[in-house]
Amino acid sequence: MLVKTAGLVLRETRIGEADKLLCILTATDGKITVKARGALRKGSRTGSATQLFAFSELTLFQGKSQYTLNEAAPVELFFSLRERVESMALAAYVCEVLEILSDADSGTEELLRLGLNTLYALSEQTAPEELIKAAFELRAAALAGYAPEVEGSCAACGAAEELYFSPAEGAVFCRLHLPGDRGVVCLRGGAADAMNYVLSCDARRLFSFRLGEKGMRALAAAAERYLVSSLGRGFRTLDYYHKLLSAEF
């Protein structure tokens, strides 16, 4: 049976001489595995549409155990991502997060939209990279059902001054009610408001806020620690991204 859909290539694995196995996030069928025969052959018609980060229209043959690619046409390749090694590394992290979060069948349409908006922002540099990363992490966690409680006041007493975020609790506390976990982040410089914004704004306005240096540092720490803590795992691509950033100095 032939199926038409559109999807984002999250991962590609070479098989043999010219074939690829693709992990693709689609809006209609969730996350699927697709075999692309001959995609690595020189001059292949499906070459560009099946590369990593490509968003493409796909015609698939649905077999018993997997999909095989019949035709593919690229819609958006996010080509500028490839100009900067940091952007590519961050895009790879975005794709790894999307792959892990889309294990469940539900909610892939919003997750796909978030992924496409994030890759677009990284590709076109519409906002600072660390802002895009943090907003993506928080929003992705929320879409996966792990929305943190960030209402702008302490979860225990309601105090609104000197707030801290606990990644382990997924909530905001004042100094008095601060839990003992080591990853606690002081939400200075407007970071509490920024978290609130990211979790409640219109999807199209996700990267349309700005923070000063202190606030950005707090938001970045809170978002990354929260995603890692709520999923209970690290990411190979995130480790690589950090290694890349620290190698610059």
Does residue 160 touch Zn ion according to CB under 5 A? no
Nearer Cβ to Zn ion (104/157): 157
Task: From 23-31, 72-80, 166-174, 217-225, give the range in contact with Zn ion by CB under 5 A.
Answer: 166-174
- Residue 162 touching Zn ion (CB under 5 A): no
> For the stretch 187-211, what's the b/e string if a residue is b when 16 or more beta carbons lie within 10 angstroms of its beta carbon?
bebbbbbbbebbbeeeeeebbebeb
- For 46, residues 6+ apart whose C-beta sits below 8 A from its C-beta are 36, 38, 39, 69, 71, 72
Using rule CB under 5 A, residue 231 touches Zn ion: no
Q: Does residue 15 bind Zn ion (CB under 5 A)? A: no
Q: Which two tokens stand for residue 214?
A: 């202190």
Task: Centre a 10 Å sphere on the Cβ of residue 67 and count the other Cβ atoms it contains.
Answer: 21
Distance between CA atoms of residues 178 and 199, nearest Å: 22
Q: What is the smallest separation between the CB atom of 176 and Zn ion, expressed in angstroms?
A: 5
* Contact status: 157 vs Zn ion (CB under 5 A): yes
In whole angstroms, the minimum distance from the beta carbon of 173 to Zn ion comes to: 6
Q: Does 84 bind Zn ion (CB under 5 A)?
A: no
Residue 114 binds to Zn ion (criterion: CB under 5 A): no
Nearer to Zn ion, 73 or 176 (CB): 176
Residues that bind Zn ion (CB under 5 A): 154, 156-157, 159, 174, 177
